[in-house]
Structure 1
Amino acid sequence: MPLQMKLSAITLDCPDPPALAAFYQQATGLASHPKSNADFAGLDREDGLFIGFQRVDDHRAPSWPDQTVPQQLHICFTVEEDLDEAEARLLELGAGKPDQQPHEDRWRVPTDPAGHPFCIVSS
C-alpha cells in the first residue's frame, strides 16, 4: 500500500523572495504568509498549501527550454480567463515569455521574474 502523503508546500529558490512572492500573490490572489521576510517569503492557500520563496545567493535562473541551467520543476496553474488575457496580465506583472511555446493553443509557458518556467492552462 502506498504511503498516504498530501502535498503541503512548494518552495522556489530565487534572488529576491519578497519580490517573487509579490508577483505570485498578484497572479494568484493567495494570502501573504505573516512570517515572510527578506530571506524567506510565502503565500498561503485556504486548503493549507504553502508556496515558499527562499533566498539563494548566486541564484541562476533556469534556461528553459535550453537545459544549460535545468528548470528543476515547474508549476501549473489553471486560469479562468482566456489564455491570451491571462498571459497578458502575467506579462504586465513582470512575467517573461520564452520564444518556444510547445502547445500555445492549449497552454502557455511564461517565466516568473526569477526565471522559473510555469504553465497556465485554460480551465
Structure 2
Amino acid sequence: MPLQMKLSAITLDCADPLALAAFYQQATGFELHPKSDADFAGLNREDGLFLGFQRVDDYRAPSWPDQRLPQQLHLCFKVEDGLDETEDQLLKLGAGKPEYQPDQERFRVLTDPAGHPFCVVSES
C-alpha cells in the first residue's frame, strides 16, 4: 500500500525571497505569508499549498536548457487564458523567455526573476 502523503510545500532557493515572492504572488494570486521576511518568504494557496522562497548566499541561477547549472526542478502552471496572453503578462512581471522552446504550441518555458525555469500549459 502506498504512503498517504499530500504535498504541502515547495521551496525555491534564490537571492531575494521577497522579490521572488512578489513575482509569484502577482502571477498566481496566492496570499503572502504574514511572517515573510528578507531570509524566507512564502505564499499560501487557499487549499493549503505553500510556495516558499529561501535566501541563499551566492545564489546562482540554473542555466536551462544546458546543464552547466542544473535546473534541479521546475514548476508547471495550467493557465485558462491563451498561452500568448499569459506569456505576455508574465514577461511584463519580470519573467524571462529562453530562446529554446521545445513545444510552443502546447506549453511555454519561462524563467522567473531568479532564473528558475517554469512552464505555463494551456488548460484546453
Q: Same fold (TM over 0.5)?
A: yes
Superposition RMSD in Å = 0.4
Q: Which residue of 2 aligns with 1:71?
A: 71
Distance 2:81 2:108 in 1: 13
**Alpha-carbon distance, 1:77 to partner:** 0.2
Could you tell me the TM-score, scaled by structure 2's length?
0.98
Distance 1:101 1:39 in 2: 33
Letter of the 1:95 counterpart = A
- Unaligned regions of 5+ residues in structure 1, if any? none
Could you tell me the TM-score, scaled by structure 1's length?
0.99
Distance 2:116 2:9 in 1: 17
Distance 2:4 2:103 in 1: 33
What's the secondary structure of 1:23's corresponding residue? helix
Mapping of 1:1-123 within 5 angstroms? 1-123=1-123
Distance 1:78 1:34 in 2: 26
**Alpha-carbon distance, 1:56 to partner:** 0.2
What's the secondary structure of 1:109's corresponding residue? strand
Deviations 1:17-44 (A, max 9, x none): 0000000000001100011001000000
**Alpha-carbon distance, 1:111 to partner:** 0.1
Distance 1:107 1:18 in 2: 27
Query: After TM superposition, which residue ranges in structure 1, 4 or more long, deviate above 4 angstroms?
Result: none
What fraction of aligned residue pairs are identical, expressed as a percent? 77
